[in-house]
Structure 1
Amino acid sequence: MKNINKLILALFGLVIFQACEGPEGLQGIPGEPGINIVGTTFEVDVNFTSANDYSEVFDFTEPLVDGDAFLVYMLEESPVSQGTFAWRLVPQTFYLEEGILVYNFDYTINDFSIFLDNSPIDFSQLDPYYTTDLVFRAVVVPSDLIGARVDYTDYEATMKLLNISEDDFVRIESNK
Structure 2
Amino acid sequence: MKNLLKGVLMIGLLAFFACEGPPGPPGFDGRDGRDGLDGTNIIGEVLEIGGVNFTSANNFSSDFYTINPPIETGDKILVFLLWAEIDGEDLWRALPQTNYEFSEGIFTYNYEFTRSLVRFFVDGTFNLGLLTNEFTRNQVFRVVIFPAVLVSENARLDLTNYDAVMELMGKSETDVVKLNPRD
Instruction: Indicate the residue corresponding to 1:98 in structure 2.
Output: 104
Percent sequence identity over aligned pairs: 37
Q: How many residues align?
A: 147
The answer to whether the aligner puts 1:152 opposite 2:159 as a matched pair is yes
Instruction: Indicate the residue corresponding to 2:93 in structure 1.
Output: 88
Say if 1:47 and 1:169 are closer, same or farther in 2 by CA, change over 3 A: same
TM-score, structure 1 normalization: 0.74
**TM-fit CA distance, 1:122:** 1.3
Per-residue CA deviation, residues 5-55 of structure 1 (Å, 9 max, x unaligned), is: x9xxxxxxxxxxxxxxxxxxxx979852xx331111100111111222211
**TM-fit CA distance, 1:175:** 6.8
**TM-fit CA distance, 1:137:** 0.3
Instruction: Indicate the residue corresponding to 2:127 in structure 1.
Output: 122
**TM-fit CA distance, 1:102:** 0.3
Q: Secondary structure at the match of 1:109?
A: coil
Instruction: Indicate the residue corresponding to 2:142 in structure 1.
Output: 137
Q: Give the greater-gyration-radius structure (CA).
A: 2
Q: Distance in 1 between matches of 2:94 and 2:119?
A: 15
Q: Distance in 2 between matches of 1:167 and 1:36?
A: 19
Instruction: Indicate the residue corresponding to 2:84 in structure 1.
Output: 77
- The one-letter code of the counterpart of 1:107 is F
Unaligned runs of 5+ in 1: 1-5, 7-26
RMSD: 2.7
Q: Is the 8 A contact 1:59 1:174 kept in 2?
A: no
Per-residue CA deviation, residues 81-128 of structure 1 (Å, 9 max, x unaligned), is: 68764111110010112210100011101101110012x321112111
Say if 1:173 and 1:50 are closer, same or farther in 2 by CA, change over 3 A: farther
TM-score, structure 2 normalization: 0.71
